[in-house]
Structure 1
């Protein structure tokens, strides 16, 4: 047998022992339109799972927000979803999955007639309860149920398996006047590092729907009109009648203190707002005090005071041992300075709360005692 025939035989044997299979798990319908619902109501609905697997499959269900592309388009054919009247509030706490996980068995099928007129052969059904709170935003909402299948493969040899999974999407409209609208209220600058500054664009949601907003364009110009920075911010959710700080960071060697002209644009998918304002980048970093505790400023001599106290004690001992007619006066002065140094160290370097007036009172008492001892 030629070597070429041996190689060909081994390749055929490999293909026989190894299987490549493609499985799929789908839902019917793909998108479920629940229509218009009132705040404070509970709505139950059902969708169906379909698979081409030959073995039993365990599928876990979980809520997942829809992709943001959903809010860029309006759909009125297969289902109703108007982007200009859509809320992006988090509805994960509204969704209750009644049975989870689900067992998909090819031996158990059911013919289902869908509301739209379609007919499918389903392997399992999933029940969902939607709890709409009283304070829900008016307008269109969308959510999805993610499917996570697990399949046990039995047989000889090894196999390569891919599972294609489609996500179930549901839409509904909460009754009420739905508006997506917002505006920039102010632009503020601050320094957060030697080569780093932050610019906060304060955006107010003036509509009735929660929306996602971001600074899509922020241009900074110096006093000569030169464009020194082009910045953007991340995405943030803004609830109705709330103000959100959209932060863009300016990093680089050209972050100089001074006054800049800022041109900002905030996009919220279905609209945008612009503003031009002058901002100030300070020279120093402003450090905010810890909440609940007053600001503490330790004197610069805290690390030197222990050495000063030790030095005064040594000087006091030397004076005490000397036979000098002014020894008592010198001792009083040294002792007074020693007590003042100890008081400064205790009240400025050890305690948490600073009382400057107490330091002064303590010093006055020490001086009064020195004068009293000297005159006596």
Structure 2
């Protein structure tokens, strides 16, 4: 609790100092910056609230932008939670009462640890867990993105010097296991196909990388981040710099943040099949030409007669 109050204190203090030094730029923050809901059961709905605040006296239309991938926050807030963390998409679990919202000075100021703020707005949303929610820690972020509302009611650009997001974390009861297995790998030209199975109980985001050894050269590869659900066998694709052929020694690594797997294996690279161009079907064109010829002949006969 002390840590949360300290974070809030530093952030709101920065808002007031920004107000003194900036004329046409605005800061928008959240209070509190961290919401820890503790355990939330499957099928349960929770009403959650926080505040958006600003030292500006101007009205702003604020859009609430959701960030489902919040692993960096979890790593900083509670590193131990990583080993029991689910990366399933929770965006459909959240329902806002209003979005966007109008942020404007209020007649009753909001009391904060360092003073009162007049430009604030309470934000409420519902978090509804489905009955099949995965076990373990879940997290997401909500960031306010404001637009300045002019006197005529229109929206114009605004320089935002600082925008922070609220981070929400909660835990679904149950055994959350993050584990996986590299099943196989195949090569096709310059393409590497890695087959990874999620053997745990939660969704994970993984990156496959590695090295191929051929003719005293090392070819490195790295894939994009892929989402793999529990018990799913996923094909992950990466590329090396040039086509390879033959049975080649390799080392493959699959990183899923809480741990990583390494496997040495021989990958069979086959030559990429060449695209055989199909002959152009001229049947339709021939019919068109014949039709034109018949019409021209018929017209010539009609004119002669």
Q: Does TM, normalized by the shorter one, top 0.5?
A: yes
Question: CA contact under 8 A between 1:66 and 1:169: conserved in structure 2?
Answer: no
Q: Is the 8 A contact 1:45 1:129 kept in 2?
A: yes
Q: Deviations over 1:224-269 (max 9, x none)?
A: 6x233111111001111111111111232xx242111121011100
Q: Give the aligned partner of residue 255 of structure 2.
A: 267
SS at match of 1:149: strand
1:182 aligns to what?
Answer: 180
- In our comparison, the structure showing a higher alpha carbon Rg is 1
Partner of 1:128: 125
Q: CA shift at 1:301, angstroms?
A: 12
Instruction: Compute the displacement of 1:91 (Å).
Output: 0.6
Q: What SS does the aligned partner of 1:82 have?
A: helix
Q: Secondary structure at the match of 2:72?
A: helix
Indicate the structure with greater strand content. 2
Q: Where does residue 37 of structure 1 map in the other structure?
A: 40
- 2:204 pairs with 1:211: yes
Q: Match for residue 235 of structure 1?
A: 225
Aligned to 2:50: 47
Structure 1 position 110, deviation (Å): 4.0
Q: Give the Cα–Cα distance (whole angstroms) in 1 for the partners of residues 194 and 266 of structure 2.
A: 12
Deviations 1:127-149 (A, max 9, x none): 11011111111000111112121
Alignment partners' CA distance in 1, 2:58 and 2:277 = 71
Matched residue of 1:108: which SS?
strand
Deviations 1:75-97 (A, max 9, x none): 28xxxx71111111111111101
| 1:143 partnered with 2:140 | yes
- Partner of 1:313 in structure 2? none
How far residue 177 of structure 1 moved from its aligned partner, in angstroms, is 0.7
1:334 maps to which residue? none
Determine the structure 1 residue equivalent to 2:193: 200
> TM-score, structure 2 length as denominator?
0.75
Q: Distance in 2 between matches of 1:160 and 1:214?
A: 38
Q: Distance in 1 between matches of 2:59 and 2:27?
A: 13
**1:189-236 deviation line (CA, Å, top 9, x unaligned):** 123xxxxx2111111111111111011x311123x6x23311111100
**Secondary structure, counterpart of 1:89 in structure 2:** coil
CA contact (8 A) 1:61 1:145 kept: yes
Alignment: residue pair count: 257
Flag the 1:301–1:20 CA change in 2: closer, same or farther, 3 A. closer
* 1:280 matched residue in structure 2: 268
Q: What displacement does 1:59 show? A: 1.2
TM-score of the aligned structures, taking structure 1 as reference length: 0.61
Contact 1:20–1:161 under 8 Å retained in 2: no
Contact 1:199 1:249 in 2 (8 A): yes
Give the distance between the partners of 1:283 and 1:70, measured in 2 at CA: 44
CA separation in 2, counterparts of 1:176 and 1:160?
46
Structure 1 residue ranges without an equivalent (≥5): 1-18, 192-196, 288-295, 304-376
CA distance in 1, matches of 2:256, 2:269: 27
Equivalent residue for 1:221?
213
Query: For residues 141 and 162 of structure 1, what CA distance do their matches in structure 2 show?
Result: 29
CA contact (8 A) 1:73 1:82 kept: no
Q: Does the 8 Å CA contact 1:28/1:120 hold for their aligned counterparts? A: no
Query: Partners of 2:117 and 2:175 in 1: how far apart?
Result: 40
1:56 and 1:247 map into 2 onto residues whose CA distance is 48
CA RMSD in angstroms comes to 3.1
CA 1:301–1:180: 2 relative to 1, 3 Å: closer
Contact 2:70 2:140 in 1 (8 A): no
CA shift, 1:111, in A, is: 3.4
Q: CA deviation at 1:60?
A: 1.7
